[in-house]
Amino acid sequence: MNTLPPPPDPLLLPVRDPRARDLVLDYADMHALVADLVLPGDASMYAMSAMETSRELIRHSFYRYEFATVAVTHSLFALEHVLAERLATDEPLHVLIQRAADAGLITAGLAAELDRGRLLRDKLTQGVESSAALRPLRAVAMVRAVFDAVSLLLRPPPATEATAADAGGPQPEGGLARLWEEHLGALFPDGFRGVDFDGVDLVLLDADVAGLVQRELNGGLDDDGIACLWNCIADLDKIVPLINEEYCASYFTKLRAMAQVAAAPHLPAAT
């Protein structure tokens, strides 16, 4: 008698959601639909992760129609985070949007589109709307509004808002501390644990830089630490161009920027 268990069912590949039949011809056409949703390179890792996820949710609404609506609500995480940082206040999203419009940071039309996304999120929370509320094309427009707003909000403040330090005075030590706090809030890229590029293990490199930056913040690096930090920067220079995944490349680009700031006081003396 054969006592082996029956073989598992074959893996079912995703199929097109019939509700998306009038959207594009095939999945490859979804790439063009979201092609102009470009991540701003100077956003925090948290904001970039939320924005990239929202873009990919729209792309995959080809297979699950509801993903389009979820994409809009997820993009609001990035918007709220960036608004709170730029305005230096922690208030409800509709207040933050209005404050940004009043301050001239975003246009009134853009603020109205952002608030429509916020209202949709609230209706979903209250059970008034379902996750199939939006067609993917409408979701693209609403997510694009978030991308546009974030890009505007990340622009440097005008000269009238600049501080004496911004105008050329000594830079505060908080620069490295701010980068460190941002790094602590960033998630290590999924799927890249145990991965190495050109012999450089990404997890170990991340941990080495983090430990050296902590030591610099907590009293300064000794000669061995400085040498190790410059070696890490050399490794980052080598591996970043080899990373072909957007979030991972951005994560390690920002890691390199933080390492460079930590190493800047320890440049070798000119000879």
pLDDT tens for each residue of the chain, 271 residues long: 455 666 666 667 788 889 887 788 888 888 888 888 888 877 888 899 999 999 999 999 999 999 999 999 999 999 999 999 988 888 999 999 999 988 888 888 889 999 999 999 999 999 999 999 998 889 999 999 999 999 989 887 654 344 433 433 333 344 788 888 888 888 888 888 888 898 999 999 999 999 999 888 888 888 888 999 999 999 998 898 888 888 888 889 889 989 988 888 876 544 3
What is residue 91's three-state secondary structure? coil
What is residue 140's three-state secondary structure? helix
What is residue 196's three-state secondary structure? strand
Residue 103: burial class (beta carbons within 10 Å; 0-12, 13-18, 19+): exposed
- Residue 10 DSSP one-character state: P
Element (H, E) at 53: helix 45-59
* Residue 107: how many other CB atoms lie within 10 Å: 14
Contact 19, 65 (CB under 8 A): yes
Backbone phi and psi for residue 84, each to the nearest 5 degrees, phi listed first? -60, -40
What's this model's pTM, rounded to 2 decimal places? 0.59
